[in-house]
Structures are given as C-alpha cells and as structure tokens.
Amino acid sequence: QNDSTTEQFIYNTVKPRSEKNNRKHIHSLYDNIHKYDTSACGTYVTIREIEEAIKDQVSVPYTMPIRFRLSIPLDDILIFSGFTDYPNSLFGDLKIKFKINPNAFVFAQVNPIISMAKYYTMNKTDLMASGPDKLKNIDLLFRNWSLGYQYTKQFTQMGCTADLITKI
C-alpha cells in the first residue's frame, strides 16, 4: 500500500498542470483550493464545524469525522497509466478492490482573510440587515490586518501536526 502511494505521488508530480487543473473532483491545485473552487477533490470545513466536533473531546489528538466524495480514474492507477483503453479481450472483466490509506490524504487551511471576504460577499445582505456594528467589526478586521502575520500556503499530510489559525 505505501509503495503504491509513493508511486502514485511520483506519477502525479510529472503530470502537466493543465491536466490536473481540468479534472474536476480528481486533482486539487492549491490555488483552486485557496479560491474556494468547486472543483476541489474534498470538502471545505469551517472552524465553527471543527469547534463543534471537538468541543467535548478531552484527549489529544482530536478526531473529527469528515465525509466527502472521491473519484479515482483508472488512468491514474499506476499499473494502468500506460493504457488508454482497457479492452476485455486483454484483461477480461476487471475487478478492482481499493484499500484507501487515510494517511495518503492531505489538508490545507485556506487563508482566513480570504475566507472572511468570501463570507462577507456571500452574506452581505444579511450582514447589512443585522446592523452597522457587525459591518464595522468586519471593516476593522480588514483594515488592521497585520503584515507580520505568517500564513503558509501548503498542504499537510493527514496524521501529521499542523498549526491552524483559529482566531484573528
């Protein structure tokens, strides 16, 4: 399983960016994740959802169940990568059994300021109806954004620790 995961990583590193960029729900480029693109392979989880899931947990590391849909095209499986068709005359009826290694998945935190801007844009009408104080708080947040704030654009492998920004 681990050798297969490593081989798959190597194979996907040499794929052209255009191919990764055009395959919805299969490959996720960081730039697309960062823009909340709907083509992402995975799901977006808010800090509020994380807080709700771990609020009663006392042991570290915290756990949180996350559901998402996964597409694995046959041409991405290394042993089939050299073929464009899978004729039954060569292989007969194919039966493939997948055992997913959860540590092969990665996660990334989206820039919290981009997240807030997206929230503001999507809920602008509701926010304006809730009063000027709410809008002032959001405006202050954007104006006082510190340039010294370190936000890393990176994926972290599942099972590894990462620093997540929970408050701004």
Contact 165, 109 (CB under 8 A): yes
The pLDDT, as a whole number, for residue 157 is 77
- Predicted confidence pLDDT, tens digits, the chain (168 residues): 456 556 666 666 666 766 665 666 666 766 777 777 777 777 777 777 877 888 888 887 777 788 877 776 666 665 555 555 555 556 666 677 777 777 777 777 776 666 667 767 776 777 666 666 666 666 665 565 554 455 666 777 777 777 666 555
Distance CA(55)–CA(74), nearest Å, equals 40
The pLDDT, as a whole number, for residue 148 is 46
The pLDDT, as a whole number, for residue 147 is 45
For residue 106, give the 3-state DSSP assignment: strand
For residue 102, give the 3-state DSSP assignment: helix
Element (H, E) at 115: helix 112-122
Neighbouring CB atoms inside 10 A of 150's CB total: 7
Neighbouring CB atoms inside 10 A of 111's CB total: 16
For the chain, give every domain's residue range. 1-107
The pLDDT, as a whole number, for residue 36 is 72
pTM of the model: 0.49
